[in-house]
């Protein structure tokens, strides 16, 4: 059995190259969905993989349990089966899970200063270390079966708890935050969504930005972005990375970053017809100014100055 992209548990668009193929679902489309439709969990494909991996863990448990009563030649074969299963089904895909699943969960959790998945990541580090120790022991001319079995039991216990945390905590978070299509593209197929420029303290939800805007008395600057959008990347890596632009945004606005592939409601609410798009919103959510497409830093600063005058 192949674990696919994820082992132990070891292992995201609307848009648009610029703004030519935006296809947001209309409110009428949404209203037309039958009331009895059962929602498909975004993480269903991964849950199926996890179920298969759990079967492999059960098999591993049985193999470890059989060591004590196995004959000497059987023990060597069993040790090899255990270490190969661990390597092929679990260890090999650790990096992919960390790069895709965990980063997506961290984005959905919305707190850039602390990794939501920090504990899970660390469990993977521990598990990888224990797997290597098992492999080393199994490779010795006279393996210590008691030490091997104790380490293997400890590892299987850790993996069992790790999977349970992923299934009960991590995957429900992703089910709430992602559509099945986004999950497939971002996690299962590894198409990474954009990350907002880290030097700007972006709010990640409209509600969060509104709260800060009211507290500080500043208008909101919204950067609408999305994956598969080259102009968005250029806007983020060139214009929004410019020191003068960052300084101006920090002084005068509450910055809000919205990935419209993840937040279609906001895109519809603010009539976003393409990305990248920049809007200035008043404290009560009125659109004061809008800029569509990429602008060089100087042109963007000039637009910000004009847009800032429109703000109360
Ligand atoms: Fe995991």
Q: How much distance in Å is there from the Cα of 297 to the middle of ligand 1?
A: 41
CA torsion sign, 97 to 100 to 105 to 106?
A: positive
User: Could you tell me the CATH number of the domain that includes residue 220?
Assistant: 3.40.30.10
Give me the pLDDT at residue 103, please. Answer: 78
Q: How much distance in Å is there from the Cα of 164 to the middle of ligand 1?
A: 10
Q: What is the pTM of this model?
A: 0.53
Q: How much distance in Å is there from the Cα of 210 to the middle of ligand 1?
A: 35
User: Could you tell me the CATH number of the domain that includes residue 22?
Assistant: 1.20.120.520
Q: How much distance in Å is there from the Cα of 43 to the middle of ligand 1?
A: 14
Residues 94 and 238 in one domain: no
> Which of the listed residues 160, 188, 216 is the one where a domain comes to its end?
188
To the nearest whole number, what is the mean pLDDT of the chain?
A: 80
For 234-285, write each residue's pLDDT tens digit: 888 889 988 889 889 988 898 899 988 777 778 888 888 888 999 999 888 8
> Which of the listed residues 162, 188, 214 is the one where a domain comes to its end?
188
In this model, does residue 8 exceed pLDDT 90?
A: no
In this model, does residue 153 exceed pLDDT 70?
A: yes
Q: How much distance in Å is there from the Cα of 172 to the middle of ligand 1?
A: 14
**Structural element, H or E, at residue 160:** helix 145-165
Q: How much distance in Å is there from the Cα of 121 to the middle of ligand 1?
A: 7
Q: How much distance in Å is there from the Cα of 163 to the middle of ligand 1?
A: 6
In this model, does residue 194 exceed pLDDT 90?
A: no
Give me the pLDDT at residue 136, please. Answer: 87
| Spatial contact of 134 and 155, defined as CB atoms under 8 Å apart | yes
In a domain, 195, yes or no: no
Give me the pLDDT at residue 310, please. Answer: 63
Ligand 1 ion: nearby residues, β-carbon < 5 Å: 9
What value does the mean pLDDT take over residues 300-312?
A: 81
Q: How much distance in Å is there from the Cα of 188 to the middle of ligand 1?
A: 14
In a domain, 105, yes or no: yes
Residues 74 and 141 in one domain: yes
The domain in which residue 163 lies consists of: 8-188
What value does the mean pLDDT take over residues 68-96?
A: 81
In this model, does residue 198 exceed pLDDT 70?
A: no
In a domain, 265, yes or no: yes
- What is the rounded CA–CA span in Å between residue 43 and residue 205? 22
Count of domains observed in the chain: 2
């Amino acid at each position: 059995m192949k674990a696919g992209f994820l082992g132990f548990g070891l292992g995201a668009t609307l848009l648009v190259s610029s703004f030519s193929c935006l296809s947001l679902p209309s409110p009428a489309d949404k209203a037309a969905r039958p009331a009895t439709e059962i929602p498909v969990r975004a993480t269903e494909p991964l849950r199926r993989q996890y179920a298969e991996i759990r079967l492999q863990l059960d098999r591993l448990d049985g193999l470890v349990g059989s060591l004590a009563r196995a004959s000497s030649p059987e023990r060597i074969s069993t040790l090899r089966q255990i270490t190969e299963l661990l390597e092929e089904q679990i260890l090999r895909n650790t990096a992919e899970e960390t790069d895709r699943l965990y980063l997506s969960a961290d984005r959905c959790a919305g707190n850039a200063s602390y990794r939501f998945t920090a504990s899970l990541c660390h469990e993977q580090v521990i598990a990888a270390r224990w797997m290597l120790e098992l492999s080393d022991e199994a490779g010795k001319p006279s393996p210590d079966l008691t030490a091997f079995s104790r380490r293997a039991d400890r590892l299987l216990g850790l993996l069992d708890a790790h999977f349970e945390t992923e299934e009960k905590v991590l995957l429900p978070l992703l089910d709430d935050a992602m559509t099945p299509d986004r999950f497939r593209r971002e996690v299962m197929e590894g198409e990474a969504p954009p990350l907002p420029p880290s030097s700007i303290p972006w709010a990640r939800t409209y509600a969060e930005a509104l709260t800060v805007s009211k507290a500080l008395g500043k208008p909101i600057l919204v950067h609408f972005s999305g994956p598969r959008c080259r102009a968005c990347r250029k806007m983020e890596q060139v214009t929004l990375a410019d020191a003068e632009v960052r300084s101006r945004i920090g002084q005068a606005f509450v910055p809000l970053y919205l990935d419209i592939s993840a937040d279609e409601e906001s895109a519809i609410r603010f009539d976003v017809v393409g990305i990248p798009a920049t809007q200035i919103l008043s404290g009560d959510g009125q659109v004061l100014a809008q800029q569509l497409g990429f602008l060089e830093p100087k042109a963007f600063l000039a637009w910000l100055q004009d847009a800032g005058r429109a703000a109360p």
